[in-house]
Structure 1
Amino acid sequence: MSAQTAAQLEMAELLVEALNLEDIAASEIAPDESLFGDGLGLDSIDALEIALAISQKYGVQMQADDERTRKAFATLASLTEFVQNNSGN
């Protein structure tokens, strides 16, 4: 497991807060672990909640029918990179 960057930890904290994940600490989410399925075990409703939280915090819009969005939701690292590349910051 690779260590999280500061940006990945911030994103992990957003995930934990947005999804009310009580059984896992943000620092325990591996950057390259799958967010869905056998990884963190998130589902499509979780993806909607995450997209809303990202929109509110970073102003980044995520479209469900966009292939880039689907790829962004693969791992914590890819989600963090997507938001960094698409935010005005």
Structure 2
Amino acid sequence: MPNKESIEIEIAKLIVETLCLEGINPSDIDFDKPLFYDGLGLDSIDSLELSIALSSQYGFQLKSDNPNNKEIFSSIRSLAKHVKLNQA
């Protein structure tokens, strides 16, 4: 089972690859940096694409109506925590 840091690195790579973030190296992303708006600069369409990629990669469904989505998608670190709790 991968450790927490390796899941965070995997998620950073998944974000860069899935969203075609040119000029961004996954290893340069701060795991605590916000993913949206002034942080990494993602938007709502990116969150949908990322949800699909995460669901496919880790074997669980991310629900659009989850009241905790704002927190889950707040950073790579919070996404990693959610993946570890829900990974199939």
Instruction: Name the count of aligned residue pairs.
Output: 85
For 1:3-25, what per-residue CA distance to the aligned partner results, in whole angstroms no more than 9, with x for missing partners?
A: x9221111100111110111201
Deviation at 1:50, TM superposition (A): 0.3
Residue ranges of structure 1 left out of the alignment (5+ in a row): none
Counterpart in the other structure of 1:28? 28
Q: Give the ranges of 4+ consecutive aligned residues of structure 1 lying more than 4 Å apart after TM superposition.
A: none
Range that drifts further, 13-22 or 59-68: 59-68
Q: Any stretches of 5+ residues in structure 2 without a counterpart?
A: none
**Alpha-carbon shift at residue 72 of structure 1 (Å):** 0.6
Residue equivalent to 2:73: 73
Give the Cα separation in 1 of the matches to 2:58 and 2:9.
15
2: CA distance, partners of 1:30 / 1:10:
13
**CA deviation profile, 1:9-53 (whole Å, cap 9, x unmatched):** 111001111101112011111011000011001000000000000
